Amino acid sequence: MIPLLEVEGLEVVYGHAIRAIQGVSFFVEEGRIVGLLGLNGAGKTTTIRAISGFLPTENVHITDGRLRFAGNSILGMRPFATAWLGIAVVPERDKVFDTLTVRENLAVALIAARSGNDEAARCRRYRSIDDILTLFPALARRIDHDAVLLSGGERQMLAIGACLLSSPRLLIVDEASLGLAPILRRQLFAMLAELNRELGLTMLIVDQDVAGVLAIADHGYILENGRVVFAGTREELLSHGDVKEFYLGQTQDRERGYRKVKQYRRIRRWH
């Protein structure tokens, strides 16, 4: 079976000198949840911007590698083209239009979805604003409120709901848990897992919360300094000694303190 998304040997250079992404390779099978994980600055967001076409146009270039979606090259495609193919992105920031109400945000997303290509899309259940409000009752209660007044969790719901209206084949969620309280993180990840089970919706979740993502992901890749340093199934990563110690905070060495963990990460980032 050909993976839905294939990233092979990807390199991204900033300013013709700094290699932000260095030979990154991974794949996402259809119907699966995959985590792209790592600390802040590891290269996660740059990687998904290269996939979706959102790299800045000046002084940032893909210098090597292959990007394929559903068997076809998407290397160098602009965002509207990747969206037309069925790739929907919930960005880390600027998720919604702050000056529009919840209803207006969803209406804009619905208009954009109807102007795109629905032929290859798979996730077709959510076709109206009412469908999204049924999925997210919290948004229904704030339907006529400006988005700037929403909480962090509600903004995530609104952004995900807007993406679902485009009937995506692949949903990429960048920093889903950023700024959320632990209980809201768990609820958000549980909701994403439920969407995957109900719709068979393929997901690439990009996050610093390794434990949270691995609780629902089928497979994971951990980036450090623009490289994949750990990869495997959920079970393999959860049982890996270094992952347990330096990303999950589990260790049998009582003398391994915060300073030693930070030193390890600094060394690995420049290895």
Is 251 part of any domain? no
Indicate if the pLDDT at residue 61 is higher than 50. Answer: yes
Question: 210-242: b or e for each residue (b if 16 or more CB lie within 10 Å)?
Answer: bbbbbbbbbbbbbbbbbbbbbeeebeebbebee
pLDDT band (50, 70, 90) for residue 271? very low
CB atoms within 10 A of CB 157: 25
Is 60 part of any domain? yes
Predicted local confidence at residue 266, as pLDDT: 44
pLDDT band (50, 70, 90) for residue 59? confident
SS (H, E, C) 6-39: EEEEEEEEECCCEEEEEEEEEEECCCCEEEEECC
The proportion of the chain whose per-residue pLDDT surpasses 90, expressed as a percent, equals: 65
Which residues, listed in sequence order, are joined to residue 64 by a DSSP beta bridge? 11
Residues 230 and 164: their CA atoms lie apart, in Å, by 31
Is 265 part of any domain? no
Q: At what angle do helices 182-199 and 152-164 cross, to 10 degrees?
A: 10
Residue 31's domain spans which residues? 5-239
Cβ proximity of 45 and 206 under 8 Å: yes
The pTM assigned to this predicted structure is 0.87
Predicted local confidence at residue 253, as pLDDT: 58
Q: What is the pLDDT of residues 119-173, one digit of tens each?
A: 544 556 788 999 999 989 999 999 999 999 999 889 999 999 999 998 899 999 9
The proportion of the chain whose per-residue pLDDT surpasses 70, expressed as a percent, equals: 88
Three-state DSSP at 130 gives helix
Predicted local confidence at residue 125, as pLDDT: 72
Predicted local confidence at residue 231, as pLDDT: 96
Residue with tokens 């932000």: 20
Q: What is the CATH number of the domain that holds 14?
A: 3.40.50.300
Predicted local confidence at residue 243, as pLDDT: 93
Instruction: Please give the residue that has the higher pLDDT: either 179 or 154.
Output: 154
Its sign, for the CA torsion 36, 37, 38, 40, is positive
Cβ proximity of 104 and 97 under 8 Å: yes
In the chain, how many domains are there? 1
User: Mean pLDDT across the chain, nearest whole number?
Assistant: 87
Least confident range from 48-62, 67-81, 190-204, 207-221: namely 48-62
Q: At what angle do helices 152-164 and 102-114 cross, to 10 degrees?
A: 20
Is 252 part of any domain? no
Is 250 part of any domain? no
Is 248 part of any domain? no
Is 65 part of any domain? yes
Three-state DSSP at 267 gives helix
Is 249 part of any domain? no
